[in-house]
Structure 1
Amino acid sequence: MARTRKRKRKQSSGGRIGCLMLVLIAAAIGTAGYFWYDWGIRGPADKAVSVSIPEGASLTSAARVLEDKGAVKSARNFLRFAKLFGSEAPIRTGEYEVPAHATGAQILEMLQEGKVKQRFVTIPEGMPSILVQERLMKEDLLTGPVAVPAEGSVLPDSYSFERGEPRAAVLKRMQKAMDEALAEAWKARKPTTVVKSPREAVILASIVEKETAVADERRTVAAVYSNRLRIGMRLQADPTTIYPITKGKPLGRRIRQSELRAVNGYNTYAIAGLPAGPIANPGRASIEAVLDPASSRALYFVADGKGGHVFAETLEQHNANVQKWYKLRRERGEM
């Protein structure tokens, strides 16, 4: 009887130890699963988190920033899993937009590949350089001064930048883009173009850019000015008269007769040929238009009242179109 009781007590004790071991194993698995869930399945952030990793930051200090911002549950466990499962590539500094519920593995990949948050500054077609400079200076997340770039040296487009990037660096990319776009367009120029150099192409394209915002008209407007240049006829483009007065900004009033008669390097009412330089930063389409103008003998154009223009080959036709335009403006109460 005594032996039987001892055997039962041993079995009972062994059972308790076994149960305890199972509980401990289950707890360990549960804990590991909890942290693995954070690393490999679903992160804790309910919304996107902006995280800035400063210059010279280590993975350890970056992990603390991630924990402070709520991108990871635990900096310590993020580091443990990073060492176990991540690569040894260094992290890169910058500002990151960590998506909602991004896993630790995804965050580490972002930091190592430098997938920083991208912001954009947009330069529209036809923007003069004085306004390009003002736009760059208004971007508070950029740093350092920047001078007014040479007119016609910037390619209109949207450019990405990072927080703290120098304005001069962004401008340099804009100007490099123009150099590359102009070189590519120049190689594809047609024999019908009247311009003799890439610079002349930019000058004429800047006039076309300011004269029409209708894409389908660019090549015809380019043809009008090309035809005038071929026969020695003055371009008589209003934007070239305005440029010396405002440097490309809106005039805000009608052009005065004295300004139309002013002799300077830009006023094409008073001088023959192209102006001394570009009057804005033209886009790719306008550059391509002057390098491949439409097949047209038109020498004149005037607004049609619908946002576009009507073109004419003779002065008589043009004067008739002008009268129609004036009549429409009078009916609208604009004259």
Structure 2
Amino acid sequence: MHPFLRIINRILTLILVAAGIGVGLLYFLKVQFDKPGPLETAKIVVIPQGRGVSAIGEQLESEGVIADRRIFVTTSLYFNYLKDNSTLKAGEYEFAAHTSMRDVLDKLVEGKSIRHKVTVAEGLTSQQVVRKLLDHPELTGEITEIPPEGSLLPDTYLFRRGESRQDILKRMAQAQQVFMAEHWKDRAPDLPIDTPQEALILASIVEKETAVEGERPQIAAVFENRLKKGMRLQSDPTIIYGLVGGEGKLGRPILQSELDKKTVYNTYQIDGLPPTPIANPGRSAILATLNPAETDALYFVADGTGGHAFAASLSEHNDNVADWRRIQRQREKEEAERQAEQDGAASTDNPTGLDGDAEAGLAASAGGDGQPPVPKRNPKLTPSP
């Protein structure tokens, strides 16, 4: 054979051998890449920020997620540089038992980390929201200041481990701005509120007055009807906010002296709206405020079922108040009888638990200066929310 042809033959032989070895190696890598991994049970692994492919592979191998970090790194580099520049993302990941390296890599490339959640209920004050975020162990960082009251949209917010508390507050504020902007333009005509901020103030009162979503448009209508007529709102939750602010709860009945004391939040004593929201209203309360029910009702009082009885006239309202009194007395009598039975007593001297001053206060709450109150409770008889 000609020497030149002999050289060509050897080169081709080497190429074929190399190709065979390459194909075999690729097949081996594919088998190892796709076969079930060593994990016996599911495991959660946290990949820190800034960690490179080699360090991630070493961590996964040490924690028993993968069998060989060299294969993992090799395939990771292949996907990163030869395909679509897919980088591995930091986060908290849950890997199922016997998950393959392919599934591990796919999860890290797509960033399918565990999503935690924090639920902020409607009607919480901004101070209560901040406290809730500070108590959440998966969030990080401090909160520099309490957001303005009413500026946050209650909801369930998803986040990844390590996200900052300040970022959650920012998302809540942005969500509220977007929601209000979207629905402000679709508000009902002739509302007695001129700005989105006034709508938030009234919505926060509606939020605190009832937990029954279906009657919020009626509650909103009552307050808006009163504003149109120049009547005071006379809402107990505004008094409570004036007393405790962002703490949210008074923890006792409102005193008559507190009803009589004029503060900027006491809507028994001031005209119009208080200066700020008294909580962070949810979507339902905001929508009810922007599109209230069509009703001429001016009053409401608890009806004993968890909802309220509405009235357009004082006489009708007084009848509803009398019905509520009877329900209260009956309940307190039944409770006293149950307690007496538990204590082994045949009866009690005062089964209703009401004294003369309390009865007088309840009677006065329905009359007064010609503007009967709206509240669903009597502050001397039942605990405030």
Q: What TM-score, normalized to structure 1?
A: 0.86
Equivalent position to 2:55, from 58, 61, 65: 61
Partner amino acid, structure 2, of 1:55: Q
Residues 60 and 279 of structure 1: CA distance in aligned 2, closer, same or farther (over 3 Å): same
Consecutive unaligned residues in structure 2, runs of 5 or more: 1-19, 336-351, 353-385
State the partner residue of 1:217. 215
- List per-residue Cα deviations over 1:269-308 (Å, max 9, x = no partner): 0101011110000011111111100000000111111111
Secondary structure of the 1:332 match is helix
State the partner residue of 2:377. none
Partner amino acid, structure 2, of 1:114: G
Give me the whole-angstrom Cα distance separating, in 1, the residues matched to 2:304 and 2:192: 30
Secondary structure of the 1:51 match is strand
Give me the whole-angstrom Cα distance separating, in 2, the residues matched to 1:193 and 1:45: 63
Give the CA deviation at 1:160.
Answer: 1.6
Q: Does 1:332 align with 2:327?
A: no
State the partner residue of 2:133. 136
Give me the whole-angstrom Cα distance separating, in 2, the residues matched to 1:323 and 1:42: 73
Is 117-126 or 225-234 further displaced after alignment? Answer: 117-126
Say if 1:195 and 1:291, in contact at 8 Å, map to a contact too.
no
Q: Does 1:183 align with 2:181?
A: yes
Q: Does 1:113 align with 2:110?
A: yes
State the partner residue of 2:96. 99
Give me the whole-angstrom Cα distance separating, in 2, the residues matched to 1:218 and 1:57: 51
Q: Does 1:145 align with 2:149?
A: no
Give me the whole-angstrom Cα distance separating, in 2, the residues matched to 1:231 and 1:38: 79
Is 104-113 or 281-290 further displaced after alignment? Answer: 104-113
State the partner residue of 2:316. 317
State the partner residue of 1:155. 153
Is 45-54 or 265-274 further displaced after alignment? Answer: 45-54
Residues 47 and 316 of structure 1: CA distance in aligned 2, closer, same or farther (over 3 Å): farther
Q: What TM-score, normalized to structure 2?
A: 0.75
Say if 2:53 and 2:76, in contact at 8 Å, map to a contact too.
no
Q: Give runs of aligned pairs for residues 189-200 of structure 1, distance below 5 A.
A: 189-200=187-198
Give me the whole-angstrom Cα distance separating, in 2, the residues matched to 1:38 and 1:273: 73
Give the CA deviation at 1:84.
Answer: 4.5
Is 94-103 or 180-189 further displaced after alignment? Answer: 94-103
Residues 202 and 226 of structure 1: CA distance in aligned 2, closer, same or farther (over 3 Å): same
Secondary structure of the 2:174 match is helix
- List per-residue Cα deviations over 1:40-67 (Å, max 9, x = no partner): 2533334332111122211111111112
Give me the whole-angstrom Cα distance separating, in 1, the residues matched to 2:242 and 2:213: 27
Secondary structure of the 1:301 match is strand
- List per-residue Cα deviations over 1:4-50 (Å, max 9, x = no partner): xxxxxxxxxxxxxxxxxxxxx9xx98x966x6455225333343321
Q: Does 1:71 align with 2:70?
A: no
The share of aligned pairs that are identical, in percent, is 46
Give the CA deviation at 1:98.
Answer: 2.5
Give me the whole-angstrom Cα distance separating, in 2, the residues matched to 1:256 and 1:40: 72
State the partner residue of 1:231. 229
Is 227-236 or 113-122 further displaced after alignment? Answer: 113-122
Partner amino acid, structure 1, of 2:105: L
Partner amino acid, structure 2, of 1:62: I
Say if 1:222 and 1:293, in contact at 8 Å, map to a contact too.
yes
- List per-residue Cα deviations over 1:164-193 (Å, max 9, x = no partner): 222111111111111111111102111143
Secondary structure of the 2:106 match is helix
Equivalent position to 2:205, from 185, 188, 207: 207
State the partner residue of 1:286. 285
Secondary structure of the 1:199 match is helix
Partner amino acid, structure 2, of 1:130: Q
Partner amino acid, structure 1, of 2:64: G
State the partner residue of 2:42. 48
Secondary structure of the 1:121 match is strand
Secondary structure of the 1:210 match is helix
Give the CA deviation at 1:74.
Answer: 1.9
Give me the whole-angstrom Cα distance separating, in 1, the residues matched to 2:106 and 2:289: 47
Q: Report how many residues are paired.
A: 308
Give me the whole-angstrom Cα distance separating, in 2, the residues matched to 1:245 and 1:254: 12
Is 111-120 or 42-51 further displaced after alignment? Answer: 42-51
Give me the whole-angstrom Cα distance separating, in 1, the residues matched to 2:77 and 2:166: 39
Consecutive unaligned residues in structure 1, runs of 5 or more: 1-24
Residues 211 and 94 of structure 1: CA distance in aligned 2, closer, same or farther (over 3 Å): same
Give me the whole-angstrom Cα distance separating, in 2, the residues matched to 1:324 and 1:166: 51
Secondary structure of the 2:61 match is helix
Secondary structure of the 1:95 match is strand
